[in-house]
């Protein structure tokens, strides 16, 4: 029973410690001391900026732009609008994607004493995705920038300039950051960048990414951070994900800096529910006070941190930050090996080594990854929630329960593995040595392949070694003494708490798409808890706990699958647009969402015709459609001009003032040297490879210039999204209280296609 009590007590206490470490600070009121960051002072700006959706190209976007410029001018900051076009391209699933558009960055400067030296850029984006007020992403951080600038002003004139860079078009491929850093003369004076982002509307602000060779910047962060949360593991994971922020632009250009994001309440990410009322003020407070301390450190430094070797960094339960050059990781690995050597040299004087038992211990640790990984995958599949972004909101609405289910899957995976592999007579110390050998080998692999992430294993292995060394003095010849179990639990508890603390943001970031990533922390927990988990002949506490974990897993899966979570706080996504198919001169009501719920069904069936599921590229791969009344809609005008033998100019003139323009093009011959409105498109597009262009808020025709061989045939599909429902169409019915207008809902869309051949 003592082993069971020690194991359960360790897990419970570790969970409580991790919960306390994951809380956000108490937000300071508007009457807080002037030199401090106050969420209460920043919140009115959140309310003004995040009142309504303001994507690029919308009237509300222009209101927010003017509001920010006015706020900065009122503070006495030098302010200008950097306007122009920018574009970026990427390759995904063997297709070429180009995003670009018109952009209007708001640039404000708080002068310092040295007007010619390197300046500090504080960056946040003020555009949102369509349909979301973006009170968290990124209105909260825009407001935080204004409050940080006020606090810096209250401190007196600083050594160098502070630039508030409110970028446009972040949601459109980070084109605002590209425009500023490629064209604005002020960009040449930027010495360091601090970027602020959000994923969800709550949680602690995590410093998760740095610029290249930023060991010096990490050192400054370590010295100045206020209640820090930071992890180079998060940065390593993020660098391998198909995502990016404005900081991605500056990092690729070689600027030093720090990238922060608060992550929590995932239902509100890119959602109409991301309003000022749902924003966790503690997240705003945590972001602001951390960034203010780093900003002051950079503004007051005699010289900015020099570039040095990339650093490993992580905070211990929201407290002290440990940071060191990645090469120092080899010293931790050596220390792990040394502690294991002395611990097991002592242990094998008490019990002879057995190769069979050693192999079983090694197998127990190695098999946790696939066993826990399968259970985590089954947990996700068992919820029944689709993997598409809008439809998985049902799962995000109950993410706390889902995360408990993920934790149960990890625990069950560890216990099942130990119960299966540890059956029968084994030698404890030999099995423990085999398990530690696997951990040390994996740590070596991590140190070679991913040195910035290796700490997640090398640090716990020091605790495991200390546990092994201490247990050798508490062995009665056949089993561990009672004091040994208490000793092992006491040493493992803070390390398990740190794993839970690290695992929480991993679950938030990838728990829906890649739940099996959490099998790695489960494996490390298996090493730390080995003395409490390895079955003894007279005591198998893991059996009851494993049964409880599996039952909890099944219950939570059934609950998440059967319970309908929609409510005014967590409304169901609904998207209906009015559409014209230009080629067929027909009008439709359409919904591109995968699920057809009753309200949308009633809208699409309004004129009595049956609902159909048809492809509508490039607006949507497929959509549910019903008939619509003929209305007046601005039309595309496509004009092709051919010059000489190989050069082609394709000019697209959107109708009206669309918010977004889409184009898909395929060619039977290779295309080279493409530019769009003079901006670089793609160097080469191979025959029959799909090129997808999304252009935001175009203020002029789109002109494509490229080289193509004689006889090449082109297939073009296009779409434009226009703000608002047609005025001469029957109006939409009021949404239910438990529903929200998603993405382009309530907009007008024109789709069409054409072919060219010479």
Report whether pLDDT(596) > 70: yes
Lowest mean pLDDT, pick from 411-425, 565-579, 631-645: 631-645
Q: Which helix (H) or strand (E) holds 250?
A: helix 246-252
C-alpha dihedral sign at 434, 438, 440, 444: positive
Alpha-carbon span 53 to 273, nearest angstrom: 11
pLDDT, residue 714, reads: 87
Reference 289, options 300, 281, 277; nearest CA is 281
Domain count, the chain: 3
The pLDDT of 195-206, averaged and rounded, is 96
Q: Is 572 left (phi over 0), alpha (psi -120 to 50) or beta?
A: beta
Between CA 244 and CA 449, with CA 324 as vertex, the angle to 5 degrees is 60
Residue 331 inside a domain? The answer is: no
Indicate if 688 and 735 belong to the same structural domain: yes
The answer to whether 656 and 634 have CB atoms below 8 angstroms apart is yes
Report whether pLDDT(537) > 60: no
Both tokens of residue 724?
Answer: 């608002």
Indicate if 288 and 426 belong to the same structural domain: no
Residue 334 inside a domain? The answer is: no
Indicate if 397 and 270 belong to the same structural domain: no
Between CA 242 and CA 249, with CA 247 as vertex, the angle to 5 degrees is 80
Alpha-carbon span 27 to 35, nearest angstrom: 15
Place of tokens 């491929």: 173
The answer to whether 382 and 394 have CB atoms below 8 angstroms apart is no
Place of tokens 């497929």: 622
Q: Could you count the other beta carbons within 10 Å of the beta carbon of residue 640? A: 15
Report whether pLDDT(362) > 90: yes
Indicate if 177 and 146 belong to the same structural domain: yes
Alpha-carbon span 533 to 542, nearest angstrom: 6
Instruction: Choose the final residue of a domain: 519, 537, 562.
Output: 562
Q: Residue 274 burial (CB < 10 Å; 0-12/13-18/19+)? A: buried
Strands 702-707 and 691-696: unpaired
Both tokens of residue 142?
Answer: 């825009």
Residue 59 inside a domain? The answer is: yes
DSSP 3-state of 119: strand
What is the overall mean pLDDT for the chain?
92
Contacts of 541 (CB under 8 A, 6+ apart): 1, 3, 4, 7, 532
Indicate if 603 and 732 belong to the same structural domain: yes
Alpha-carbon span 486 to 2, nearest angstrom: 8
The pLDDT of 429-449, averaged and rounded, is 96
Residue 601 inside a domain? The answer is: yes
Residue 328 inside a domain? The answer is: no
Indicate if 428 and 286 belong to the same structural domain: no
Both tokens of residue 300?
Answer: 């007051």
Residue 26 inside a domain? The answer is: no
Indicate if 385 and 315 belong to the same structural domain: no
Report whether pLDDT(539) > 60: no
pLDDT, residue 240, reads: 78
Instruction: Choose the final residue of a domain: 540, 562, 584.
Output: 562
pLDDT, residue 709, reads: 85
Indicate if 391 and 494 belong to the same structural domain: yes
Both tokens of residue 54?
Answer: 């303001």
pLDDT, residue 484, reads: 85
The pLDDT of 519-548, averaged and rounded, is 83
Indicate if 202 and 312 belong to the same structural domain: yes
| Ranges assigned E (strand) in 375-458 | none
What DSSP character marks residue 711?
T
The pLDDT of 636-640, averaged and rounded, is 76
The answer to whether 219 and 323 have CB atoms below 8 angstroms apart is yes
Indicate if 414 and 450 belong to the same structural domain: yes
Report whether pLDDT(394) > 80: yes
Residue 96 inside a domain? The answer is: no
Alpha-carbon span 429 to 32, nearest angstrom: 58
The pLDDT of 553-573, averaged and rounded, is 93
The pLDDT of 666-693, averaged and rounded, is 90
Indicate if 69 and 12 belong to the same structural domain: no
The answer to whether 378 and 517 have CB atoms below 8 angstroms apart is no
Q: Which helix (H) or strand (E) holds 718?
A: strand 713-722
Between CA 641 and CA 691, with CA 756 as vertex, the angle to 5 degrees is 95
Place of tokens 């922390």: 521
pLDDT, residue 645, reads: 66
Residue 454, phi then psi, degrees to nearest 5: -65, -25
pLDDT, residue 331, reads: 97
Q: Tell me: the pLDDT tens digits for 719-735? A: 999 999 998 998 998 99
Both tokens of residue 138?
Answer: 């990124």
Q: How much of the chain is in helix, strand and coil states, percent to nearest 5?
A: 45, 25, 30
DSSP 3-state of 193: strand
Indicate if 422 and 548 belong to the same structural domain: yes
pLDDT, residue 424, reads: 65
Q: CATH number of the domain that 241 lies in?
A: 3.40.630.10
Alpha-carbon span 706 to 748, nearest angstrom: 31
Alpha-carbon span 106 to 125, nearest angstrom: 9
Is 710 or 309 the better-scoring residue by pLDDT? 309
Residue 494 inside a domain? The answer is: yes
Domain that holds residue 477: 2-18+346-562
- From residue 368, alpha-carbon distances to 102, 269, 512 in Å are 51, 32, 20
Q: Work out the pLDDT band at 476, boundaries 50, 70, 90.
A: low
């Amino acid at each position: 029973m003592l082993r069971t009590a020690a194991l359960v007590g360790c897990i419970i206490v570790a969970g409580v410690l991790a919960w306390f470490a994951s809380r956000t600070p108490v937000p300071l009121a508007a009457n807080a001391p002037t030199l401090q960051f106050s969420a209460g002072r920043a919140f009115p700006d959140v309310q003004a900026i995040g009142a309504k959706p303001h994507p690029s190209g919308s009237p509300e976007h222009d209101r927010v732009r003017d509001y920010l410029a006015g706020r900065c001018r009122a503070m006495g900051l030098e302010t200008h609008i950097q306007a122009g076009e920018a574009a970026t391209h990427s390759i995904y699933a063997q297709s070429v994607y180009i995003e670009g558009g018109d952009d209007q960055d708001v640039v404000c400067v708080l002068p310092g004493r040295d007007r010619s030296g390197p300046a500090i850029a504080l960056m946040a984006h003020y555009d949102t995705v369509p349909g979301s007020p973006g009170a968290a992403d990124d209105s909260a951080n825009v407001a935080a920038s204004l409050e940080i600038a006020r606090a810096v002003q209250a401190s007196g004139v600083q050594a160098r300039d502070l630039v508030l860079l409110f970028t446009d078009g972040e949601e459109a491929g980070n084109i605002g950051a590209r425009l500023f850093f490629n064209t604005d003369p002020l960009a040449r004076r930027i010495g360091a960048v601090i970027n602020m982002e959000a994923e969800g509307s709550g949680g602690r602000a995590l410093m998760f990414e740095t610029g290249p060779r930023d060991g010096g910047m990490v050192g400054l962060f370590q010295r100045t951070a206020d209640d820090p949360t930071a992890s180079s593991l998060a940065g390593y994971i993020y660098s391998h994900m198909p995502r990016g922020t404005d900081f991605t632009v500056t990092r690729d250009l070689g600027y030093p800096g720090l990238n922060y994001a608060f992550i929590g309440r995932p239902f509100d990410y890119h959602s109409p529910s991301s309003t000022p009322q749902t924003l966790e003020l503690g997240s705003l407070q945590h972001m602001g006070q951390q960034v203010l301390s780093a900003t002051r450190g950079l503004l007051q430094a005699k010289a900015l941190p020099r570039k040095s070797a990339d650093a490993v960094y992580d905070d211990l339960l929201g407290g002290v930050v440990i940071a060191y050059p990645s090469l120092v990781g080899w010293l931790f690995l050596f220390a792990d090996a040394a502690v294991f050597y002395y611990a097991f040299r002592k242990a094998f004087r008490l019990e002879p080594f057995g190769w069979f038992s050693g192999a079983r211990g090694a197998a127990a640790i190695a098999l946790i990854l696939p066993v826990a990984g399968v259970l985590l995958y089954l947990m996700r599949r068992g919820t029944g929630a689709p993997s598409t972004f809008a439809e998985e909101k049902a799962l995000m609405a109950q993410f706390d329960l889902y995360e408990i289910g993920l934790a149960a899957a990890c625990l069950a995976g560890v216990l099942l593995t130990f119960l299966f592999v540890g059956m029968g007579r084994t030698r404890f110390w030999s099995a423990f040595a085999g398990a530690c050998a696997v951990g040390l080998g994996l740590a070596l692999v991590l140190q070679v392949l991913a040195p910035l992430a290796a700490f997640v294993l090398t640090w716990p292995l020091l605790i495991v070694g200390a546990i092994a060394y201490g247990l050798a003095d508490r062995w009665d010849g056949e089993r561990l003494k009672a004091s040994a179990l208490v000793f092992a639990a006491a040493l493992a508890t803070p390390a398990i708490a740190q794993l839970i603390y690290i695992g929480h943001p991993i679950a938030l970031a990838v728990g829906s798409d890649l739940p099996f990533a959490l099998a790695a922390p489960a494996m490390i927990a298996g090493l730390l808890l080995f003395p409490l988990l390895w079955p003894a002949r007279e005591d198998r506490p893991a059996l009851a706990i494993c049964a409880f974990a599996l039952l909890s897993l099944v219950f939570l899966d059934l609950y998440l699958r059967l319970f309908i979570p929609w409510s005014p706080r967590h409304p169901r996504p609904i998207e209906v647009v009015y559409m014209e198919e230009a080629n067929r001169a027909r009008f439709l009501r359409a919904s591109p969402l995968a699920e057809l719920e009753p309200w949308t069904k009633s809208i699409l069936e309004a004129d009595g015709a049956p609902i159909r599921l048809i492809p509508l590229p490039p607006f949507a791969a497929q959509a549910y459609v019903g008939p619509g009344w003929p209305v007046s809609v601005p039309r595309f005008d496509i004009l092709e001009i051919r010059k000489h033998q190989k050069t082609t100019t394709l000019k697209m003139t959107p109708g009206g003032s669309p918010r977004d323009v889409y184009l898909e093009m395929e060619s039977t011959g290779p295309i080279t040297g493409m530019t769009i409105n003079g901006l670089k498109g793609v160097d080469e597009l191979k025959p029959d490879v799909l090129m997808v262009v999304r252009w935001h808020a175009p203020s002029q025709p789109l002109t494509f210039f490229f080289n193509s061989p004689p006889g090449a045939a082109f297939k073009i599909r296009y779409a434009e999204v226009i703000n608002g429902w047609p005025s001469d169409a029957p109006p939409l019915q009021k949404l239910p209280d438990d529903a929200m207008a998603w993405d382009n809902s309530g907009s007008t869309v024109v789709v069409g296609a054409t072919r060219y051949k010479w």
